[in-house]
Amino acid sequence: MKFKLPLYLFCCFATFAFAQPRQEFVLKTGWKFSRGTHAQAYEKGFNDAKWEKINIPHDWAINNPFDKEVDKQVVAIEQNGEKTASEKTGRTGALPHVGEAWYRNNFNLPTLTKNQKVIILFEGAMSEPKVYLNGQKVGEWNYGYNYFYFDISQQVQQGANLLAVHLTNREKSSRWYPGAGLYRNVKIIIKEETSIEQWGTFITTPMITDNEAKVNIKTKVNGENLILKTIILNAKGDTIATKVTDEAFSKEFDQNLLLKQPQLWSPEQPYLYTAISKLYAKGVLKDELRTKFGVRSIAFDPNKGFSLNGQVRKFKGVCLHHDLGPLGAAVNIAAMRRQLRILKDMGCDAIRSSHNMPSREQLELCDEMGFMFLAESFDEWAKAKVANGYHRFFKTDAEKDIVNLVRATRNHSSIVMWSSGNEVPDQFGSDGAKLAKWLQDIFHKEDPTRPVTVGMDQVKATMASGFGAVMDIPGLNYRTHLYEDAYKAFPQRLILGSETGSTVSSRGVYKFPVVKASDKQHDDYQCSSYDLEYCRWSNLPEDDFVLEDTKPWVIGQFVWTGFDYLGEPTPYDDKWPSRSSYFGICDLAGLPKDRYYLYRSKWNTRDTTLHILPHWNWEGREGQTTPIFVYTNFKSAELFINGKSMGVQRKNKSSLQHQYRLMWMDVKYEPGTVKVVAFDDDGKVAAEKTMVTAGKPHRLVLEPDRKTIHADGDDIAFVTVSVVDKDGNPCPTANNQLNFKVKGEGVFKAVCNGDATSLEQFNLPTMKLFSGKLVLLVQSLKKAGKIELLVSGGGLKDGVLALSSE
């Protein structure tokens, strides 16, 4: 089996806003929102005077109090190996996302002609949206993660229009926090009847050499006797290729263009071209569309593994849920870009959307910043995981949901693989294998250039049923002890770690004694950041590292997860308060945990990594054993405590942990200075790092990810707030209550400290530090100018930060 996968593009419709012959605008403002049934809310005469005025994207639940009673479930979580049902209070985040709600928007359209058509496009609506325009129902869609659109040409009016959207979030419909509302964009597209179909362009690069690349562009159109002119621009905007075609077969143009000396897309060099499609009828321009794409090839070969542009490599990936921590599910480009910057520095080069369809913005950023993407579709098929999950719609909706996913996203150069599901109970028996084949065939029909995988956790069952043999790429979720058996059983001769790790930790929290432990629970509902705790069904990072390093047929991994997410607080699913995950390499605020540096030491081959843990503020542990770990890309290092050598440690094969970590297990705590000196392969000093025991917390330090943000009302500066003593040493155990004020052309948006047990609301301007830190979000207004942030409280010297928007 060998897949050679070209390149794909993406439609940037915003480029055409208010420009003939195609117009497009985002319905961002002018919305009113209310919870409840409001049976007549779709009618023009309905009184919405007291409804809340909001902008979209919008998550109606994220700014509310956490509540133990929200979506409380009594269930045994099969994926966690539970046999007995118990009360789960934070499984879906404990935020009030359950219920019905309405959105209304009065918008105006410009002058329309009889030959124009109008489309309304939803990029995601949570969930079960029913859409009304001017009192008429125009359609509905069940899956909250999908893109969908309706032709509203018959219902829309020139001038004023009333759009109403009804949403229903049912209890027991998710295994994590799903968000609520119109959490992705809604767009109006006005174009000629004679035009390019919605998502009708498909760009691939089926042939690439060092000197040239063949670009194939298939374009579906409405109309007869048309001419299609395609222009390709390089990243500078220069025209480098042009093609004019007047022959369409079954209303589809098929063009091939030649690029000389192509720049290839890769995570290291994410080069993007732009294709301009111009559609003419009788010499008149009828439609114009711009599509970004990259030139690249992918191959999955049983003899070589995975290769990108002819170079064999392994996925260094993470799984990401769709929520953005304190922002909830509402899409925000600044928040997603920040996540990807943090992951890029770690050495990550791939993302898996888990377990849902990705947002357009996330894919655009991955194209631009250089991340390979595994685009997933469903968490349920025909058999249920939760009482009101997707299984209710699977038989009627699965095909159209996949079709929309592929057509809406297939031109993204970042996407290298599709996933039709995750840990579905249908893995057992021949019926499940047939479903897997049916879904895979739909993907292949819509996109024959990329392979399909499924995240399989019931590996023995998939070996027995033929389920795993059906898939283009067998994806294993955990079960590292079964990799060899699966490799021998599956004909593909390749294994993807579709979900790996699930090590659990709380940033800056350390537990003693330091031992490897499964399903370990502590009285404070935190997990140790020594990175030795995991779940009964999961494992530690080293178990996956060694498979990658020793098995050429293991093509890489996607770690669960890159960031903590709301809901699913394993191993404290049945404990309150515990309302978000512990799996993240970074916490819910986006702050790296210690584990981040373990992955960085393995994955980031450009930069030096030298990280020490734990912190060195342990009043009351004097003389007690307090192990020190070092995560580094060097093979050896020497540890000093107050100038005294604790010896040199070298990475070795005495245990899995010793292959990838340097560990001094017998260190006795004494306050003072910890120093680590790392050596290169020649034994020369390569890097040094020092930390000291901090004194009493004295003042606040504010560190923004950016000092200048865009004055668009959406952009956000993420400010890390920490505490230092009078000498400037970080205070890693500070938990002071802080208060926040923003002045000028910005507003306080949210705050998060990364504590999975905190019940403080994200949208209130006060929060406790957790392990000495928190992250504050400052959002721009639509007027450029200066912004001042003041952080105070806890008896500390205030922190003041000057920002600006432009």
Q: Which residue has 């099969």 as its token pair?
A: 78
The beta strands (E) that lie in 605-736 are given as 610-613, 628-632, 636-641, 644-650, 662-664, 673-679, 685-692, 699-704, 708-709, 716-724
pLDDT at position 17 over 50:
no
**Confidence band of 124 (pLDDT split at 50, 70, 90):** very high
Note if the bond before 757 is cis, omega within 30 degrees: no
**On the CB side of 491, how many CA atoms lie within 13 Å of its CA?**
8
pLDDT at position 323 over 50:
yes
DSSP-derived 3-state class of residue 141: coil
Superfamily classification of domain 314-603: Glycosidases (3.20.20.80)
For CATH 3.20.20.80, the residue range(s) in the chain are 314-603
pLDDT at 636: 98
**Confidence band of 467 (pLDDT split at 50, 70, 90):** very high
Max Cα–Cα distance, the chain, nearest Å: 88
187-205 pLDDT, tens digit each: 999 999 999 999 999 999 9
**Confidence band of 83 (pLDDT split at 50, 70, 90):** confident
pTM of structure: 0.96
Rounded to an integer, what is the distance from CA 29 to the centroid of its chain? 25
- Under a CB-based contact definition with an 8 Å cutoff, are residues 27 and 56 in contact? yes
- Under a CB-based contact definition with an 8 Å cutoff, are residues 222 and 203 in contact? no
Superfamily classification of domain 3-12+194-293: Immunoglobulins (2.60.40.10)
The beta strands (E) that lie in 80-172 are given as 86-88, 99-109, 116-122, 130-133, 136-140, 148-151, 159-169
| Alpha carbons 92 and 580: distance in angstroms, whole number | 8
On average, the pLDDT of the chain sits at 95
For domain 28-61+97-184, give the fold.
Jelly Rolls (2.60.120)
For CATH 2.60.40.10, the residue range(s) in the chain are 3-12+194-293, 618-692, 699-805
649-691 pLDDT, tens digit each: 999 999 899 999 999 999 999 999 999 999 999 999 999 999 9
pLDDT at 9: 29
pLDDT at position 307 over 70:
yes
CA torsion sign, 440 to 442 to 448 to 449?
Answer: negative
pLDDT at position 349 over 60:
yes
Average confidence (pLDDT) over 467-482: 97
| Alpha carbons 363 and 340: distance in angstroms, whole number | 11
- Under a CB-based contact definition with an 8 Å cutoff, are residues 242 and 170 in contact? no
Note if the bond before 174 is cis, omega within 30 degrees: no
530-546 pLDDT, tens digit each: 999 999 999 999 999 99
Neighbours of 466 (CB within 10 A): 16
Nearest to 608 by CA among 406, 345, 366: 345
Give every strand in the sheet of 305-308, ordered side by side: 3-5, 298-301, 305-308, 311-312
Nearest to 628 by CA among 586, 686, 687, 673: 673
Give the angle 88-94-100 at the CA atoms, nearest 5°: 110
pLDDT at 21: 87
Q: Which residue has 């070298």 as its token pair?
A: 650
pLDDT at position 399 over 80:
yes
HEC secondary structure over 552-608: CCEEEEEEECCECCECCCCCCCCCCCCCECCCCCECCCCCECHHHHHHHHHHCCCCC
| Alpha carbons 466 and 446: distance in angstroms, whole number | 24
Residue 581 Rama label (left phi>0; alpha psi -120 to 50; beta): beta
Average confidence (pLDDT) over 538-563: 97
pLDDT at 234: 98
Rg of the chain's alpha carbons, rounded to an integer? 27
Say which DSSP state 668 is in. B
267-291 pLDDT, tens digit each: 999 999 999 999 999 999 999 999 9
pLDDT at 81: 77
Q: Which residue has 């709380």 as its token pair?
A: 506
Average confidence (pLDDT) over 225-234: 98
pLDDT at 80: 75
| Alpha carbons 496 and 422: distance in angstroms, whole number | 13
Distances (CA, A) of 283 to 20, 225, 276, 280, 602: 15, 11, 17, 6, 58
Neighbours of 154 (CB within 10 A): 10
Tokens of 592: 């790296």
**On the CB side of 159, how many CA atoms lie within 13 Å of its CA?**
0
Give the angle 592-597-598 at the CA atoms, nearest 5°: 130
For the chain, first and last CA: distance in Å?
Answer: 52
Return the CATH number of 699-805, one of 2.60.40.10, 2.30.30.140, 2.40.30.10, 3.40.50.1820.
2.60.40.10
| Alpha carbons 801 and 317: distance in angstroms, whole number | 35
The beta strands (E) that lie in 273-430 are given as 273-281, 284-293, 298-301, 305-308, 311-312, 315-320, 350-353, 372-376, 415-422
Nearest to 166 by CA among 37, 51, 79: 37
Exposed / middle / buried, residue 591 (Cβ in 10 Å: 0-12, 13-18, 19+): buried
Exposed / middle / buried, residue 390 (Cβ in 10 Å: 0-12, 13-18, 19+): buried
| Alpha carbons 572 and 595: distance in angstroms, whole number | 20
For CATH 2.60.120.260, the residue range(s) in the chain are 28-61+97-184
Nearest to 499 by CA among 619, 355, 638: 355
pLDDT at position 2 over 60:
no
For β-strands 186-192 and 23-26, DSSP reports them as antiparallel
Active site residues: 423, 499
pLDDT at 114: 86
In CATH, what is the architecture of 618-692? Answer: Sandwich (2.60)
pLDDT at position 19 over 50:
no
Instruction: Report CA dihedral (407, 409, 410, 411) to the nearest 10 degrees.
Output: 120
pLDDT at 758: 98
Nearest to 560 by CA among 66, 79, 70, 59: 79
720-761 pLDDT, tens digit each: 999 999 999 999 999 999 999 999 999 999 999 999 999 999
